[in-house]
Structure 1
Amino acid sequence: MTEQTLSRRARLRAQTSAEIKEIALSLMAAGGPDAISLRAIAREMGMTTGAIYSYFASRDDLVTTLVGEVYESAVQAAETARDAVPESDTGSRVATWAHAMRDWALANPEGFRMIYGDPVPGYRAPEDSLGRDAALRACTGLIGLVAAAWPVARARGSHDREYEWTDFDPRLAAHVREEFPGLPPAALALTLRVWGRMHGLLALEIYGHLSPLVHDPAAVYQDEMRDLVASLGLTG
């Protein structure tokens, strides 16, 4: 068997795998997360279910791959946009992260729903999955932005009460304390509030609740992010 033949087979396998994932997301968009099944995908592609199993051993294997790739795509978009802004401009980095996530979500609405809105019934992500790693990267990136803003935000009084590390998931608390030594638990609480403001309007938009009420959702989101940055005592 020639190298050219192997290369052609590899390309065909990659194309088929990509089509399987694309159809899985379209099925979810049309019928919700319950609609994802290898049998339904095989029917859409004109393949046997057995042939699909040669690409993904189970539905959960397919979902794990999808979640990992979707999360990775989202995080890369946010990190790339953030890193294009000087580290000294914390406010602009916060706003840029938010707008990059919105741009990504609008371009990938089914992916946004999968990782932030519509869990697949019965699915449990493996501990060592790419999705968990990317989700942790996203969390770390956002905490890093809040950590950079914390000296100003703390002086401004951007938190209402004192928090303890025991108020949070132990694994998350341990990760934050390792990655950001000296950062208090109140800063983690502030990060969750920042995340909520970034994703609140975005989720309404992705799920179709915002567009019937306002002609320009982008303008509303931009105003919300400006207010968010100002609430941290920053400019941007």
Structure 2
Amino acid sequence: MVPHGRPQRSEDGHEPDPADRPRRERARAATIDEIKQTAFALMRERGTVDVRFTDIARVMDMTPPALYRYFADRDELVSALISDAYEALGTAVAKARAQVPPGDVAAAFVAACQAYRRWAHEEPQQFALILGMPLPDYAAPEDGSTSEAAGRAMAQLSSLFVEALQLGRLAPPRITEVDPAVELCAQAKHEKHEIGVDPAHFQAMLHAWASLHGFTSLEANGHFAWMDEEARDALFLGQLRLAAEAAGLPVT
């Protein structure tokens, strides 16, 4: 039995240094970050979102089994990458919104959408990982860590509707009829996240996001490459104006 109040000695008879644990934790955190950054670097290099432990281990001069000390399997690593990507997207949108004067919902909507589009252009692999085609054989975690990160990122857009409502600047959406199936989705979201708007505006939020994401995805996949940058920018701003008007948001 170890005497009360005395630290347990290690097998070599020495008492553990209290500083060792934080040092080990920092080293582990640094290795985990290096694994994730290596995975993203391989995605960028190869133009794919699929990663393998063997490739990561080779780049890091590790053995593949050593990676299992940090991630249980590839799915756990992918889940961490997805969560990080959503957090990065949410941060980018939040920073853009912070540059807009408080209460200017119209400008905030444009800034948020431009940040979304810019991030997709700057981080094509992360964008494809979270908002592109599903990764083959990947199963999202049951604890919902990836969906929670997604919710925080998307809240940067949905909160604009709540802000407009609170300021008395949210007009009725262009489409007010809501299918019962969509209304059930709105109710479920409200019960979980208290979305703060009626079903018609919940539907309008989805329409606005679909419009933003549709343009961004088409551009990210090269379908607007035949247009010059100035034309694409003008088309994008027109798309945002159309989406805002249809959703009942104030327009710049």
TM tier relative to shorter chain: 0.7 to 0.9
Partner of 2:67: 52
C-alpha contact (below 8 Å) 2:112/2:156 kept by paired residues: no
d(CA) in 1 for partners of 2:224 and 2:184? Answer: 32
C-alpha contact (below 8 Å) 1:165/1:173 kept by paired residues: no
| TM-score, scaled relative to structure 1 | 0.81
Partner of 1:65: 80
Higher relative contact order by CA 8 Å / sep ≥ 6: 1 or 2? 1
C-alpha contact (below 8 Å) 1:201/1:221 kept by paired residues: yes
Give the deviation of 1:26 after TM superposition: 3.5
Partner of 1:220: 235
- Higher-Rg member (1/2): 2
Give the deviation of 1:167 after TM superposition: 2.2
Partner of 1:116: 131
| TM-score, scaled relative to structure 2 | 0.77
5+ residue gaps in structure 2? Answer: 1-15
2:159 to 144, 154, 164: 144
Determine whether 1:81 maps to 2:88: no
Aligned residues: 231
Instruction: Summarize deviations over 1:132-162 as a string: whole Å, max 9, x none.
Output: 112122333423323444666644x511x51
Determine whether 1:173 maps to 2:187: yes
Q: 1:80 is matched by which residue type in structure 2?
A: K
Give the deviation of 1:227 after TM superposition: 3.8
Q: 1:215 is matched by which residue type in structure 2?
A: E
Give the deviation of 1:8 after TM superposition: 5.7
After the TM superposition, which residues 1-236 of structure 1 pair with which residues of structure 2 at under 5 Å, given as runs? Answer: 9-29=24-44, 30=46, 32-33=48-49, 35-149=50-164, 154-155=171-172, 158-159=174-175, 161-164=176-179, 166-167=181-182, 170=185, 173-176=187-190, 179-181=194-196, 183-216=197-230, 217-231=232-246, 232=248, 234-236=250-252
Give the deviation of 1:75 after TM superposition: 1.1
Q: Which runs of 4+ in 1 moved over 6 A?
A: none
RMSD of Structure 2 on Structure 1 (CA): 2.9
Give the deviation of 1:212 after TM superposition: 3.8
- Looking at secondary structure, tell me which structure has more helix per residue: 1
| SS of alignment partner, residue 213 of structure 1 | coil
Instruction: Summarize deviations over 1:211-231 as a string: whole Å, max 9, x none.
Output: 343333334323322443344
5+ residue gaps in structure 1? Answer: none
d(CA) in 1 for partners of 2:236 and 2:29? Answer: 37
More displaced stretch, 20-29 vs 199-208: 20-29
Instruction: Summarize deviations over 1:170-199 as a string: whole Å, max 9, x none.
Output: 4x5322356145x32111111111001211
Give the deviation of 1:107 after TM superposition: 2.3
Q: 1:32 is matched by which residue type in structure 2?
A: T
Change (3 A) 1:153 1:8: closer
